[in-house]
Structure 1
Amino acid sequence: MNIRLPEDEMVDVGILAGLFQNMNQSYKLFWFKAIVEKVREGIYIISHDELANCMIADAWYMVLEYKLSLGARNTKLVEVVKRAGEVSRFKSSEKKKKF
């Protein structure tokens, strides 16, 4: 699949597109989605914790309900979601806002 992103003076779209060439690591989608959501909210400086929390909230249902695998080498996000599920005792169907 060859996707051409629009050119931009402030973003090197070639580097950005290169991040998604190997999609064996699904965590990248959660990472990028979290960044896009924050930017849409007008937040341009994002802490590591904020980014991780967004990724956990987005992966929550898919990991806990459907046992989504995010790739053999990248199980940390899955581990964190599962541990958060055990500690919080939230349902897998919990709304993202509650997090």
Structure 2
Amino acid sequence: SDLYAQVFATVAKGIGITIFVTAVAFALASALGLGIALMALSGSQWLRQIARFYVEIIRGVPILVLLFWIAFAGAPAVVAAWNALTAPLQSAGFIG
């Protein structure tokens, strides 16, 4: 009864977050893929080589290694960069 309603609300919230994260990831991946494809089709040898290098690295590295790299190197770097960007705003909020 009440427990089921609470569990259902939690699961529904989780489904909403999952759909949001999926949509954002899809949009970012599509933009990145389009950018790499345009670089690969470019007339510039330099841009084609960068696109080829990226594609070969992504194809050559196992997905589990990429997931570990994102989890243990990529995510902490993003958090550190975010904290560095927001620290002045937070300190201004505490002072002012």
Q: Does the alignment reach a TM-score above 0.5? A: no
Per the normalisation by structure 1, the TM-score is 0.25
Per the normalisation by structure 2, the TM-score is 0.25
Please say which structure displays the higher CA radius of gyration: 2
Question: Larger % of helix: which?
Answer: 2
Greater RCO structure (CA 8 Å; 6+ sep): 1
